[in-house]
Amino acid sequence: MRHAEVTRKTAETDVRCSVNLDGEGKSDIQTGIGFLDHMFAALAKHARFDLTLTCKGDLEVDDHHTAEDCALALGAAIDKALGERRGIFRFGDAHAPLDEALARAVVDLAGRPSPHVALGLRRDSIGDISCESLTHVLTSLGTAMRAALHVDVLKGENDHHKVEAAFKATALALRHAVAHDGSTQVPSTKGVL
């Protein structure tokens, strides 16, 4: 099984992350930020990753360090679990609606970080997390898993729906990109990713 564990400990956070890319979508997530837990649970469910993620962060300061470091730990765990990235599709794309909102995610697990995220949010926060931190979570995830990750909300009115659609689209794109393609080859003309 493609499984990895990552610990990230700083003066601001203590994060422990375990991911199984060949899981069933089970998750146990405790970041201290309810809406962030909800988004990571949706990501795990729809990517079909088994995910355990805990964080003790300086939430008395704000949500930024916790949100960023959880995403960096998850991205690093996905990167580690992929190993040489042999026998994977590498590319994935998906659209996901949530009521009136529609999001698109496109991923290339090329080993080169290049995240581009445009959620079009209008509120300052959703629950206990700032909207700018939610965008930063997806950006940090793409950076740490060394992927070109493009996430766009194409339409929507409700910011909760837009963010959830974006995380679900990202999950579906990742589910395809990490899937086995039936070969043992590295999916690149370079021979490495």
What is the C-alpha to C-alpha distance for residues 107 and 104, in angstroms, rounded to an integer? 10
pLDDT greater than 90 at residue 191: no
Question: Do 137 and 37 touch, CB atoms closer than 8 A?
Answer: no
Label residue 87 left, alpha or beta by phi (over 0 means left) and psi (-120 to 50 means alpha): left
Partners of 118 in the β-ladder: 152
- What is the β-pairing status of strands 27-30 and 3-9? unpaired
Helix (H) or strand (E) holding 92: strand 91-98
pLDDT greater than 90 at residue 82: yes
Domain ranges of the chain: 3-177
Q: Can you state the percent helix, strand and coil of the chain, rounding each to 5? A: 35, 30, 35
Determine the distance from the C-alpha atom of residue 11 to the mean position of all C-alpha atoms in its chain, rounded to a whole number.
Answer: 23
| CATH code matching the domain that covers 3-177, chosen among 3.40.50.1820, 3.30.230.40, 3.30.70.20, 2.30.29.30 | 3.30.230.40
Mean pLDDT of 23-32: 98
Question: Do 155 and 102 touch, CB atoms closer than 8 A?
Answer: yes
Cα atoms in the Cβ-side hemisphere of radius 13 Å centred on 21: 24
Q: What pLDDT sits at residue 1? A: 83
Q: What pLDDT sits at residue 193? A: 84
Mean pLDDT of 179-184: 94
Q: Amino acid identity of 134?
A: L
Which pLDDT tens digit goes with each residue over 44-80? 999 999 999 999 999 999 999 999 999 999 999 999 9
List of residues 6+ apart from 25 with CB closer than 8 A: 44, 45, 46, 47, 48, 49, 50
- Work out the mean pLDDT of the chain and round it to a whole number: 97
For the whole model, what pTM was predicted? 0.97
Determine the distance from the C-alpha atom of residue 50 to the mean position of all C-alpha atoms in its chain, rounded to a whole number.
Answer: 13
3-state DSSP call for residue 71? helix
Who wins on pLDDT, 122 or 190? 122
